[in-house]
Structure 1
């Protein structure tokens, strides 16, 4: 999965004196003494936290942002420190901590100009945790809900547009899980359970890439159950919506081989129907 990186810190100017304060005696060749963060000004801590992020020293950035929140809770830098700490956790793949920090920021600053960014970053934290379709998909459901919140709260923004694309990917992922379970049930001859899974893909995930296969699988299972009329009707839907797909070729070949085609059926023969019998066993 392609990793998003929505980094947009606001770097503030640090004076030369402040820079020298953090560098300590290192300029004169002596060993740096430990820095007492409680004695540093919030602007210095914040800007060095941003520098740490640029250097990919995310743990150090978290320490500096936390120091602002601990020692300067009413500083004008505190809100940004909370937000950027969430980003630093995100970059460390510590997604639960990032979500917790972002939730805190949104609770304390619900009307912040950076709220859209915080909601989007929070949604990405869920999105990055989506598991393979072999595993439980509760994380995908959470990610889709968080992404939908971004779209609902901040329409017509770049965040909403990217979230909408990721929602489609989530739907495709969930549909893939339904297909995986449906194929398993079909192999175990639990045909009614398989039909329920395939129908759910057709009804609930119509914009995904799995619908054509789900329709073909329904044709296959209906034929196994002796429901020939249902199989023909489903194949007609497949022919109308996906006439050039290999899944329609498979469905047509199944109907032909089981002598289920009738003269009145509105189903044209696939363009490459002659190739189906040679590839069927390798695919299934």
Structure 2
């Protein structure tokens, strides 16, 4: 009986709480930002960014833009929202944010940064540019995203050559281009390993035509040498070998063959040395 009485009391308390809330008797949760000035809101957004609380930073920046879309902090807050979403891992929202910014503010003094950020989003380099690629292989990523990143960085470099972001963008272009070239070579190697030698040779040749300055060209030439050899197309195989020897006279492929080749990491700069 005691347990039944307790259950009835609990149910009554729940019902009363619901009724009071519906009537507006109970206090609603207070929005702490409601009384903040735009300066205060911007400062808190910047503080959240510094603390790497990117979710809160995105929230505060979005609030600021909503409250004062034409104020002195509005443009910076918009691009900061995109950056915060990017750092928070929400790349789709970050891309939507940055595209909106570019559309609304084509003459903004920070438009070069907007393009740089757009390139970063598709490049998806959350680990940083230098020294931490050893666990990644960009060539295994979606080549369309890499192409988009490359084109965005290229636009930045060509249209804003004096931008403080131009040098870094140019370096990232090299990484993206090398990765796309390596992707093509990986596909050619895939065909070769499965006995589709003509497809392998054609794909390798395409890689050379599209990315004739990338380090992966050396690999593509060797695939052509071996694929044509398997097809008993001796002249084509010899021609490919001559081009390899002329272009890469110190190539390990010429001495050891494919299996013993000591390749430098693809993500190094063109002309980089083996690490």
TM-score normalised by structure 2 residue count: 0.75
Which of 229, 233, 249 aligns to 1:227? It is 233
In the alignment, structure 1 residue 181 sits paired with structure 2 residue 187: yes
RMSD of Structure 2 on Structure 1 (CA): 2.3
The residue that corresponds to 1:117 in the other structure is 113
Mapped to 2, the partners of 1:75 and 1:203 lie a distance apart of 50
Contact 1:69/1:82 (8 A) holds in 2? yes
CA contact (8 A) 2:198 2:228 kept: no
1:102 aligns with 2:108: no
* C-alpha spacing 1:131/1:68, structure 2 compared with 1 (3 Å): farther
| Distance in structure 2 (CA, Å) of the matches to 1:108 and 1:135 | 31
| Partner Cα distance (1:158, 1:247) in 2 | 40
Aligned to 1:79: 75
Matched with 2:251 is 245
How far apart in 2 are the matches of 1:157 and 1:114?
10
Q: Which of 138, 159, 164 is matched with 2:165 structurally?
A: 159
Partner Cα separation in structure 2 for residue 233 and residue 72 of structure 1:
67
Tell me the number of residue pairs that the alignment of Structure 1 and Structure 2 aligns: 224
Counterpart of 2:216?
210
Name 1:201's counterpart in structure 2: 207
Tell which has more relative contact order, 1 or 2 (C-alpha 8 A, sep 6+).
2
Contact 1:38 1:67 in 2 (8 A): no
Q: Is the 8 A contact 2:154 2:173 kept in 1?
A: yes
Gaps of 5+ in 1: 1-32, 252-275
Residue 54 of structure 2 corresponds to residue 58 of structure 1: yes
Q: Superposition pairs for residues 125-144 of structure 1, below 5 Å?
A: 125-128=121-124, 132-144=138-150
CA gap 1:126/1:219 in 2 versus in 1, 3 angstroms? same
**Stretches of 4+ aligned residues off by more than 6 angstroms:** none
TM-score normalised per structure 1: 0.73
Seen in structure 2, the aligned counterparts of structure 1 residues 224 and 118 have a Cα distance that, compared at 3 Å, is same
Shift of 1:250: 4.5
CA distance in 1, matches of 2:179, 2:204: 14
Q: Shift of residue 45 of structure 1?
A: 0.6
